[in-house]
Amino acid sequence: VKILPVDSEHSAIFSLIEKCGIENIDNITITASGGAFKNLSKEELENVTVEDALNHPTWNMGPKITIDSASLANKGLEVIEANQLFGLLAEKINVVIHPQSFVHSFVQTKDGALYAQISKPDMKHPILNALTYPEIMENSLEKIDFSKALQMEFMPPRYDDFPMLKLAYSALNKEKSYPIVYNAVNEIAVAAFRNKQIKF
């Protein structure tokens, strides 16, 4: 069967690959909001609280995924998912911090051109795309309005300060059951952090 991804990043990649052709794709880039702690130093991260981690700047999500967003573990899981969904090697899957969350992902074709899917940060878009696939349907969802000023920032992840992302690549490269272990260990760590048994 054809899997239709509903997560906004994988929905975007799926749509872009459909349009460009998987044979023409050189690499993909998954965007990350950066979570609640993107501007904190390594020293400041030592003392953040559960309440701090649950204060996401862009998305309104449940506590587990919000903490995963703060640690970048959610991007690590999305890298693993992209490998499984699209058959791309780890070195062909990139991550970029994009705080505004307008760009949901990029694909780069073999000629070097970069293509993006851009829409308001609203899960209704990828849900609608999955429900109506393969049609593109008119809808009443809010569109980006270029008559108003719009700024978008992109910056590389801080792998050393947010090691969960680096560990995901390591698990993916080791293959076997390592990605499953990564997921399970993260579940345990998030639960311990929420129960204030460990630091962030």
> pLDDT per residue over 48-97, tens digit each?
999 999 987 776 788 999 999 999 999 999 999 999 999 999 999 999 99
**What digits encode the pLDDT tens for the residues 124-179?**
999 999 999 999 999 999 999 999 999 999 999 999 999 999 999 999 999 899 99
Q: Please list the helix, strand and coil fractions of the chain in percent, rounded to the nearest 5, in that order.
A: 45, 15, 45
The phi, psi pair for 88, rounded to 5°, reads: -95, 140
Confidence at residue 185, expressed as pLDDT on a 0 to 100 scale: 97
pLDDT at residue 1, as a whole number: 74
Q: Could you give the CA distance from residue 75 to residue 116 in angstroms, rounded to a whole number?
A: 18
Strands (E), the chain: 25-32, 93-97, 103-109, 114-118
Closest CA to 100 of 125, 122, 130, 76: 122
Please report which confidence band the pLDDT of residue 188 belongs to, taking 50, 70 and 90 as the band edges. Answer: very high
